[in-house]
Structure 1
Amino acid sequence: MATPPPPEDLEDLYEHAPCGYMSLQPDGRIVKCNATLCAWVGYSHDELHGKRLHDLLSVAGRIFFETHFAPLLRMQGYFDEVALDFIARDSTKIPVLANAMERRDDQGALLFTRITIFKATDRRRYERELLEARTNAQTAQRELQALNATLETRIRRAVEERLQIEESLARERQLAELREQFIAILGHDLRNPLASLDGGIRMLHGENLSPQGERVVKLLQGSTLRMSGLIDNILDFARTQLGGGIALKIEDDVEVQPVLEQVVDELRTATPDATIETEFTIPAPMRCDRIRIGQLASNLLGNALAHGHRTSPVRVRANAADGEFVLSVTNAGEPIPPSTMERLFQPFVRGTSGRNQDGLGLGLYIASEIARGHGGTLEAESTAEETRLTFCMPLTGNPVEPD
């Protein structure tokens, strides 16, 4: 009679099973594990006792476990074949598959959680290789489809762009012709009558007029001066908006101080009730556009006279030192509101506190364009005491080409 086999040693079966066993307390700490798992991770029973499961996981595994599988375990009481990466004592990564099931008492209280762990190195490698092969095939197919679509799109776009370029060139030629005609007609039709009016006023100025006649002539002189400035601003604005930009005629060795003095004299004549104080320190000629610098100064001074208090003088200062030319115009008056300050150098922006509200709001915009054309800046400061507009230009810089 054959001798029956000895009974299975359950303790040995647990300790040396071909898989890892782990039991967790309700607080998630390891309370028991088998020798197989200890051998895989390189820790003894005592070292693993009291650790948490996520202490053995990689960083990504911890996040994935806590955000996905731990909630699933709490909700349904188990999970199957969860892919995790254990980190051994020597920092080796061990791919595993884990199954877990909760053990509860009759009242539903959690007693412990049992986890079975299987090594999955070969399986995970096979899955990665299979996924990579499938991904590569799909990628190749998508790349081929994308290449075909790209070629078709490029051909279509090339044809469309060619047609658009030809249409754009035709429109640009028409626009250039219309722009030149518009500016020429505008300048001719406005300047000629104004020139005749100015000539007639100059003839009357030499006549023996009554005091009232002298006052009328001075008023007419101021009006023609203002109209001339408006025409200049309108033409310059038309050029900037139609693509011509502010035209500059840069010259070397320009004596700027006489230009500024002439501007001040003209505006003194046009506004005899205003006080204009000047302080010019320009020791040497400069490289700039003589006419445009005079126009910039006239616009800044005209703005100060229009919005400043007549009881306080308008101060015009200019100096050239340390490689920079600085022109500032300062007046007392109501401060510029912040909402206006943000748009001060944009076209058609006018102040609300000046006496003369019939301007187009182009003066400061044109001045800023002239400043930019000279490679400089135009800035504004306004407080309850005074408002100052300051033009700064490098003495050795090159002018900026108009857009």
Structure 2
Amino acid sequence: MTSVADTHSLTWQVSPDLLGIVNQSGVFVQTNPAWQAILGWSEAEIRSMVFTDFLHPDDLDRTLALFSTMKEGEPALHFENRYRCKDGGYRWLSWVAVPEGDIFVCSARDVTRDKANARALQSSEDEALLREQFIAILGHDLRNPLAAIGSAVRIASRQPHDEKIAAMFAAIDGSAERMAKLIDSIMDFARARLGGGLPVDLIRVENINEGFENVVDEIRLAHPDRLIQTSFAFDNALICDTTRLDQLLSNLVANAVTHGSRDKPITVATFEENSYFVMSVKNSGKTISKDILSNLFKPFERADESDSLQGLGLGLYIADQIAKAHSGKIAATSDETGTVFRLDIPLEQSS
């Protein structure tokens, strides 16, 4: 019988691949040291079993079918199956086996890590596809019918009806508007969390304060009982995405309206400090603990355990992502004098 171990002794001893000779009964009559290094079996243990004793049950039928074709003189090239280790686990092996007379000369490479990497890559591709589908559902399949509902309600509300019906139409329209804002927040979250950051369109803006005034006026209109004071002192140009910064300010002021004292003013300011554009929003009220402050910009976190469940806690997370997209940072401080959210964006990018 041909002996690979005799004719290629050095290769046989040092090869990292599993080398072996199988007889017609399916017994590995010779194996190299790599078998014990990879699978844990000694040469004597391997000789006491047939190859089917090592196979993963799911690989048994197709491996037996291949062995039958090998007995007819066909080689096996890059055939993969799982072999049981002595500790009970399995390793993926890629085989090349060639018939030589009444034996089969085999070599196998451990491809377990390659299999794991391939699964990880497939998982990443599946996640990317799922992300795209998720954003598409939010952006089209949910927002479009919601817009249709809003339009239908507004058209119907123009028709003659009593005060009870008018109140119902107003409630439906308000709910639709809140749902639209919630969908926008979830879309931003999906893009930022799953897509590698929030997209921004950076352009040079000469008067950033105009948009901020409009944002504050809209919130004043929605909350006429709250005093919102402004001090817009920044008079330089800024490279930014105005829509995103308006969104950030809206989130911060809305947060102040929700959590600040109703009998104390909210103060919104912009100014330049140490070559940074600075925006700050301050409100009076209950001091935020250090434990809560440390998690304030994480998604699905709220500033107070007693908060209502009307929001998902995404507003501050999205504000933080907008700041990062502008190479800036946002931070919060809170003490007995009030709670301040401060945005800093470097002006070097605006020169």
Q: Report the TM-score when normalising by structure 1.
A: 0.53
| Mapping for residues 160-171 of structure 1, pairs under 5 Å | 160-171=112-123
What is the rounded CA distance, in whole Å, between the counterparts of 1:346 and 1:157 in structure 2?
Answer: 45
* Counterpart secondary structure, 1:312: coil
What is the rounded CA distance, in whole Å, between the counterparts of 2:204 and 2:260 in structure 1?
Answer: 35
Amino acid at match of 2:322: I
Q: Which residue of 2 aligns with 1:342?
A: 294
* Counterpart secondary structure, 1:368: helix
What is the rounded CA distance, in whole Å, between the counterparts of 2:187 and 2:113 in structure 1?
Answer: 34
| Mapping for residues 254-273 of structure 1, pairs under 5 Å | 255-273=207-225
Note if contact 1:316-1:330 (Cα within 8 Å) is conserved in structure 2: yes
What is the rounded CA distance, in whole Å, between the counterparts of 2:272 and 2:166 in structure 1?
Answer: 39
* Counterpart secondary structure, 1:180: helix
User: Alpha-carbon deviations, 1:288-345, whole Å to 9, x = none?
Assistant: 1122111111111110011111211111111245421101011111111222112111
- Return closer, same or farther for 1:317/1:189 CA change in 2, 3 Å cut-off: same
Q: Which residue of 1 aligns with 2:315?
A: 363
Q: Which residue of 1 aligns with 2:201?
A: 249
What is the rounded CA distance, in whole Å, between the counterparts of 1:279 and 1:210 in structure 2?
Answer: 44
How far the C-alpha of 1:276 sits from its partner, in A, is: 1.1
Q: Which residue of 2 aligns with 1:293?
A: 245
What is the rounded CA distance, in whole Å, between the counterparts of 1:205 and 1:213 in structure 2?
Answer: 8
| Mapping for residues 60-139 of structure 1, pairs under 5 Å | none
How far the C-alpha of 1:171 sits from its partner, in A, is: 2.5
What is the rounded CA distance, in whole Å, between the counterparts of 2:272 and 2:153 in structure 1?
Answer: 37
- Return closer, same or farther for 1:252/1:186 CA change in 2, 3 Å cut-off: same
User: Alpha-carbon deviations, 1:190-243, whole Å to 9, x = none?
Assistant: 322443455567769999999999998887776555444322221122223324
Amino acid at match of 1:185: I
Q: Note if 1:390 corresponds to 2:342.
A: yes
What is the rounded CA distance, in whole Å, between the counterparts of 2:291 and 2:307 in structure 1?
Answer: 20
Note if contact 1:317-1:329 (Cα within 8 Å) is conserved in structure 2: yes
- Number of aligned residues: 252
| Mapping for residues 267-346 of structure 1, pairs under 5 Å | 267-320=219-272, 322-346=274-298
What is the rounded CA distance, in whole Å, between the counterparts of 1:290 and 1:201 in structure 2?
Answer: 31
- Return closer, same or farther for 1:356/1:215 CA change in 2, 3 Å cut-off: farther
What is the rounded CA distance, in whole Å, between the counterparts of 2:250 and 2:329 in structure 1?
Answer: 17
Q: Which residue of 2 aligns with 1:191?
A: 143
Larger RCO of the pair (alpha carbons < 8 Å, separation 6+): 2
User: Alpha-carbon deviations, 1:64-84, whole Å to 9, x = none?
Assistant: xxxxxxxxxxxxxxxxxxxxx
* Counterpart secondary structure, 1:252: strand
- Return closer, same or farther for 1:333/1:196 CA change in 2, 3 Å cut-off: farther
CA RMSD of aligned residues (A): 3.9
Gap runs ≥5 in structure 1: 1-147, 399-403
- Return closer, same or farther for 1:337/1:288 CA change in 2, 3 Å cut-off: same
Amino acid at match of 1:299: N
Note if contact 2:207-2:235 (Cα within 8 Å) is conserved in structure 1: no
How far the C-alpha of 1:259 sits from its partner, in A, is: 1.9
- Return closer, same or farther for 1:362/1:290 CA change in 2, 3 Å cut-off: same
Q: Note if 1:352 corresponds to 2:309.
A: no
What is the rounded CA distance, in whole Å, between the counterparts of 2:144 and 2:129 in structure 1?
Answer: 22
User: Alpha-carbon deviations, 1:112-141, whole Å to 9, x = none?
Assistant: xxxxxxxxxxxxxxxxxxxxxxxxxxxxxx
How far the C-alpha of 1:285 sits from its partner, in A, is: 3.0
* Counterpart secondary structure, 2:348: coil
Amino acid at match of 2:217: D
What is the rounded CA distance, in whole Å, between the counterparts of 2:143 and 2:118 in structure 1?
Answer: 37
Amino acid at match of 2:304: T
How far the C-alpha of 1:393 sits from its partner, in A, is: 0.6
Amino acid at match of 2:239: R
What is the rounded CA distance, in whole Å, between the counterparts of 1:275 and 1:208 in structure 2?
Answer: 36
What is the rounded CA distance, in whole Å, between the counterparts of 1:223 and 1:212 in structure 2?
Answer: 17
Note if contact 2:239-2:349 (Cα within 8 Å) is conserved in structure 1: no
Amino acid at match of 2:205: D
The structure number with the bigger radius of gyration is 1
Q: Which residue of 2 aligns with 1:27?
A: none
* Counterpart secondary structure, 2:341: strand
Q: Report the TM-score when normalising by structure 2.
A: 0.60
> Aligned match of 2:185 in 233, 239, 243?
233
Q: Note if 1:175 corresponds to 2:136.
A: no
Note if contact 1:219-1:270 (Cα within 8 Å) is conserved in structure 2: no
Among all aligned residue pairs of Structure 1 and Structure 2, give the percentage whose two residues are the same amino acid: 38
